[in-house]
Amino acid sequence: MKLTGKNAADLFMSINGIQLCYDDYGSSETAVIFIHGFPFNKSTWDAQTSFLSQTYRVLAYDIRGFGKSDPGEEKFSINLFADDLIAFMDELGIEKAIICGLSMGGYILLNALKRYPERFNAAILCDTQCVADTNEGKEKRLKTIAQIEDGGVKEFTEGFLKAIFHEESINTKSALVNRIRNTILSAKTSSLTQTLLALAERSETCSSLEQIQIPTLILCGEQDVVTKPEQSEYLNKKIKNSIFQLIPRAGHMSNLEQADVFTRHILLFINNLK
């Protein structure tokens, strides 16, 4: 049975005490759902959803507290974000899906794969990792929270942009960098700080990688300094039925920096599942 989308952007649904905003395009026997990273929103997937919806049903949503989705009253956690994903699928009547998560979206996907393995028929892990924060990493996030709460959102944003983009992108793709700068600056301060705390408190998922039985595509920017290619290589080593592809001339935002190459890898992967 084909799952047919509503072919519309900025749709809303009520789940887990929030109004969640999402896009829903195309039709297929299987839905493909995209989960964005921190501190972005679903628009970072526009290149992928626009192209892939020609063949498949494609959905992207704003994680609670970002874009147009409500933050709700519950304390942010990766567990909660994963529960939102399942509730989103339930509300749409999607029993199983292919899920693609980048960075924090990958953390959410790995969490959901561990707790709800029966809900997925394939996974795409992009520029992400399975480890928990070290004590040093937690301390760094707490300092960033203090910086943001002290009015330093612009300073945080500029430093973050330098970390997530390949130097070539910084120098030659100013429109893209500016778009992401504006996305970060438009995020609610409370959502930034709550999510940083959730990231600092997340659990490792490395110990459950060998339990993943579904086909898995792993993508990583060749110059990613946030979640380095070695982390993706580790995922590839531990996950059976996984494929690993490096994205040349890309940093942490590989889906934006080299959108065509990134999307082709996903299309080939999904086509080969048939």
Q: Which among 24, 213, 19, 3 is positioned nearest to 94, based on CA atoms? A: 3
Asked if residue 6 has pLDDT above 90, the reply is no
pLDDT for residue 149: 97
Distance CA 210, CA 166 (A): 31
Asked if residue 202 has pLDDT above 90, the reply is yes
- Stretch 120-132: mean pLDDT: 98
| Residue ranges covered by each domain of the chain | 3-271
Alpha-carbon torsion, ordered 245, 96, 23, 26, to 10 deg: 80
- Stretch 70-81: mean pLDDT: 98
Asked if residue 269 has pLDDT above 90, the reply is yes
pTM confidence score: 0.97
96-132 exposure pattern, b = at least 16 Cβ within 10 A, e = fewer: ebbbbbbbbbbbbbbbbbbeeeebbebbbbbbbbbeb
Structure-token match 């893209």, residue found: 176
Instruction: Name the token pair of 245.
Output: 């592809």
- pLDDT single digits (tens) 28-37: 888 999 999 9
For residue 274, name the pLDDT band (cuts at 50, 70, 90). confident
pLDDT for residue 3: 75
Class of 3-271 per CATH? Answer: alpha beta
Distance CA 223, CA 225 (A): 6
Q: Are the C-beta atoms of residues 143 and 136 closer than 8 Å to each other?
A: no
- pLDDT single digits (tens) 130-187: 999 999 999 999 999 999 999 999 999 999 999 999 999 999 999 999 999 999 999 9
DSSP string, 97-128: EEEEEETHHHHHHHHHHHH-GGGEEEEEEES-
